[in-house]
Structure 1
Amino acid sequence: MPSIASSCCGSVGEHQPAVSGQPLGGQPGTGQPGGAQLSDSQGYDLVVQQLIPGYASLARLAVALLAASPKAGEVGAEVLVAGCGTGAELVEARAQRPDWRITAIDPSLDMLEAAQCRLGRDGIQWRQTRVEELEAEACFSGALSVLVLQALPDDGTKLAFLTALARSLQPGGQLVLVDLMAPERSPLQPQVQAAWLGFQRASGLSEQQSREAALAQGLYPIGVSRLTALVNAAGFGDPARIFQALSYEGFLLQRPA
């Protein structure tokens, strides 16, 4: 992957101290989806796969969708990974589109270091920051945000995050957004919740571990109607659903050309 030292978003910022062992989902703005403790990237990835149906395919699908978009499909496109976590999307991006010039951001130093250990420092522009602080104006052809919005309260913080993402994209640029969504009111919802716990136990988590790693702990899921209102206010068109596994859903958003 080529170096992106000349990226329109500037050079890599200085790392600031961060606390190790962050709870999954306890650090707003990172792709940390639950309540279990993080000790290393392999342990994190294993726990997430045990908690989230379809997680093993999410990164591959997200990258493939973005790579098929008109803007990010171009050779050498600049792509933002907002809340890169331990680097699952970065691994897939490097495999599928080694020509992409990638900026990976996360407010957690632990997460950035885990991703750097996994991928190396070269060929990716690493920034310990939030997208709201990136000050990127129409820099990127596309962006990925997986399991990030769910950690932000709906008190203006979600809107600020989405607005910053829209602002960072070129006109016509697309965002792949994947998050835990608030369940629809349905008499079948208790069955869905039971299936979720059953999936976790079948994946290797005990009942006690499932309770301790409650996926909604510290998270702020919203419904599709609220998401639509937020993304429209942020500057995107209506969301197009491209993935669903129980309460986890993925959407393709586009900044109007």
Structure 2
Amino acid sequence: MNSAGYERLQSQVIPGYGSLARLAVALLAVSPAARAGGAEVLVAGCGTGAELVEAVAQRPDWRLTAIDPSEEMLGESRQRLGDQASIDWRQTTAEALVDQPGIAGRFAGALSVLVLQSLPDDGSKLAFLTALARSLQPGAQLVLVDLMQTSLPSLEGQLEAAWGGFQQASGLASQPAQPSQGLHPIGLARLTSLVNAAGFGDPARVFQALGFEGFLLQRRA
């Protein structure tokens, strides 16, 4: 599936998907460190490049490092963005990247959209968040968007039904996906515990559409 097809499918499955990249970049663009001209910004799990497209449009002065462990996704992203001298492309993970020379404490901001949800909570989520924190300058911010568990279990069935209805109304022809199918969502209390352990302050919620939530995290000084 090419990037256009992937983006269309995501828009049919994820409420608010069409605004996620734009919102994430807009939030980071006015953050304490990344608002400076020429700031270095990490896009972790760049996928097909939605956040990169917005970053180039909103902040053409940024110097971007785009990482993804998938060669296919990285290729789609590079094809979509074309020849951008401001983007450093790397097929790697955040955990491997931060151990490379000159990476720890390098970035003025980071974006992670729909990545953490794919990692099991067996130490993998903490390792990912810790790597992102280590890669950031003290006081720099991470915009994190993820599928979350509801804090009210009594609403879980209603939210699942609403998500199925959203997908059908969006024109998805196949059977609607279940919210956590193949994913590992966690609740806010668990997320707070993990980000604190990783080196961030408490998460500040800035977006919510059904089970999908966005947070601003700031690396502690």
Q: Which residue of 2 aligns with 1:133?
A: 96
Matched, 1:232 2:199: no
Q: Which secondary structure does the structure 2 equivalent of 1:187 belong to?
A: helix
Q: Which residue of 1 aligns with 2:118?
A: 151
Q: Which residue of 2 aligns with 1:120?
A: 82
Give the superposition deviation at 1:217: 1.8
Give the superposition deviation at 1:215: 4.1
Preserved CA contact (<8 Å) 2:12 2:171: yes
CA distance in 1, matches of 2:147, 2:158: 17
Amino acid corresponding to residue 236 of structure 1 in structure 2: F
Q: Which residue of 1 aligns with 2:211?
A: 247
Matched, 1:66 2:33: no
Q: TM-score, normalised by structure 2?
A: 0.95
Matched, 1:86 2:52: no
Matched, 1:204 2:167: no
Preserved CA contact (<8 Å) 1:51 1:215: no
Q: TM-score, normalised by structure 1?
A: 0.82
Consecutive unaligned residues in structure 2, runs of 5 or more: none
Preserved CA contact (<8 Å) 2:69 2:93: yes
Runs of 4+ in 1 over 3 A off after TM superposition: none
Amino acid corresponding to residue 45 of structure 2 in structure 1: G
Give the superposition deviation at 1:182: 1.3
Amino acid corresponding to residue 220 of structure 2 in structure 1: P
CA RMSD of aligned residues (A): 1.0
Amino acid corresponding to residue 20 of structure 2 in structure 1: L
Give the share of equivalent positions with the same residue, in percent.
Answer: 69
Q: Per residue, is there more helix in 1 or in 2?
A: 2
Give the superposition deviation at 1:229: 0.2
- Deviation readout 1:229-249 (Å, 9 max, x if unpaired): 000000000000000000000
CA distance in 2, matches of 1:215, 1:91: 27
CA distance in 2, matches of 1:119, 1:86: 9
- Deviation readout 1:183-224 (Å, 9 max, x if unpaired): 223433222211111100010013x431xx444221100000
Give the superposition deviation at 1:163: 0.2
The number of residue pairs the alignment matches comes to 216
Q: 2:133 aligns with which of 156, 166, 174?
A: 166
- Deviation readout 1:105-130 (Å, 9 max, x if unpaired): 00001111111111014321000000
